Amino acid sequence: MQTGAFQLSVNDVSTGTAIFRNDMPIWLGTFGSNIWPMISPTDPMYRGPTTSAIVWSDFIEGRGATLKNIHSVNKSKYLLCLTEQIVSDLKIAAAIYANFPRFLKHSRVSKSSIDPKTVKGRINELAKFLSLLIQVSKNEYGIEIKALNEISFQLLKECIPKYKGRSNHLKRALKLISDPMVQKNLSASLQWQLLDLDSKSIRWKATKDHIGIPTLSDNQFLFLMSHCRNTILEFKHVMGMHIHDKSFKPQNSYAGDNFFSAINSYFEYVSNQPNCYSFQTKFGYLPGEVLKYMLESHNSAMMIILLLTGMRETETKYFMRDSLVEEHGFSFIKSKVVKQKPQDIPVSEGWLAVDLTIDAYDILQYFSINNGNKYLFSPPFKFLSPNNSKGYQLGSLSKKFNNWIKRIDKKKNI
């Protein structure tokens, strides 16, 4: 959150006398603004002006309507139709949650700050559910709802089972606006209290347990390790790069100056006007053959990093060039994201890098230097992502690796 001349006081908020001035700083914006930016465009986690901010008018006009983002419109699964008065109250709830999360009765946060994405998640959930309430009230009872205090507890109970989202997420969101500290600062008190949400008369839908990706079996792990190791070390051998894994025995499948030159020339080849015939004439290899070999090496290097470090996807967003360091006689890979610690603290932890990890790192570093992208988990060539220089988007790696594994796993080990 920005520092400024005016900040909320916890005493004023707790007594319901807080003044929410338009110039009050909130994250990278101000309270009175229609858009509350959460992440700077220069941050690796930035995902566009709509995704990386709360756009309040979208809750009235529909997702993506304000910034004319066609991708946001297409992704919208819910009709958003809040009123200005409801949005005004939601802004107050968001500001209180962002500034004083540990003072709210429902909050599981013990710290004085909270991730802005969590605040946005709660507000998004409320916007979708309250829009459903407005539609049900108008279509089934002919009553237009314009303010939060006009929603009856009976209507709330009726709509909870109709909500398509996850019940546990909805309950947390409703607890936010039902919290006594929040209610004291809204335009008017609600027709229910925080304890009412635990009433047995509410039919909360059962929440399905989230089943994550299962742990790799020994055979699956060994298959990936073997494939990736051979690919990585063969690539380094062909390129004349120092190999840290001393047990490697080269197969010389692509040894020779021509293939070495073809790989080094490929970056320039794809950045100009590609001429397949001249490339093959000069180096003796088809561009597609070189591309396939380079992509295979790049995918294998990323997979080894993940297998041998346990790095989470969010941490790959901060995995940058020159992040391998020597400390106390050991090699470590450093990333800015450290679990349970603020993202703005200096890097002080990392992952121990064994020899094969260092070999994989060297390959990602090689691609990073040649394609000009400082993020190591990023497309290896500019033509694969011409408008993105921050690495792979969250969620894209799973799809990428799934498709790649299907291609290399001929015997269905995975």
Give one DSSP letter per residue of 147-206, joined into a string.
SGGG--HHHHHHHGGG--S-HHHHHHHHHHHHSHHHHTTSSS--SS-GGGGG-TTS-PPP
C-alpha–C-alpha distance, residues 405 and 91, integer Å: 45
N-to-C CA span, the chain = 45
Q: Is 349 helix (H, G, I), strand (E, B) or coil?
A: coil
Q: Is the pLDDT of residue 169 over 70?
A: yes
- 307: CB partners within 8 A, 6+ apart: 221, 224, 225, 228
- Tell me the average pLDDT across 327-346: 68
Q: Which residue has better confidence, 219 or 153?
A: 153
Q: Residue type for 270, please?
A: V
Distance of CA 68 to the CA centre of its chain: 22
Given this model, what pLDDT does residue 234 score? 93
For 208-257, strand residue ranges (E) read none
Q: What ranges do the domains of the chain cover?
A: 10-198, 218-408
Q: Is 21 within 8 Å of 32 (Cβ atoms)? A: yes
Distance CA 314, CA 302 (A): 14
Q: Tally the residues of the chain.
A: 414
Higher pLDDT, 148 or 388: 148
Region 304-328 average pLDDT: 91
pLDDT tens for 278-293 read: 999 999 999 999 999 9
Asked if residue 139 has pLDDT above 50, the reply is yes
Q: Which helix (H) or strand (E) holds 273?
A: none
Q: What is the pLDDT of residue 206?
A: 85
- Phi and psi at 25, nearest 5°, equal -65, 140
Confidence of residue 65 (pLDDT cuts 50, 70, 90): confident
Task: Answer yes or no: is pLDDT of 76 > 70.
Answer: no
Predicted pLDDT at 273: 78
Instruction: Supply the mean pLDDT for the chain.
Output: 88
The Cα–Cα gap between 81 and 53 comes to 19
155 Cβ contact list (under 8 Å, min separation 6): 133, 136, 137
Helix (H) or strand (E) holding 373: none
CB 297 within 8 A of CB 324: no
Please state at what angle helix 355-371 crosses helix 218-239, rounded to 10 degrees: 60
Predicted confidence (pLDDT) at residue 350 exceeds the cutoff of 90: no
CB 289 within 8 Å of CB 238:
no
Q: Which residues pair with 304 in a beta bridge?
A: none
Share of the chain above pLDDT 70, in %: 89
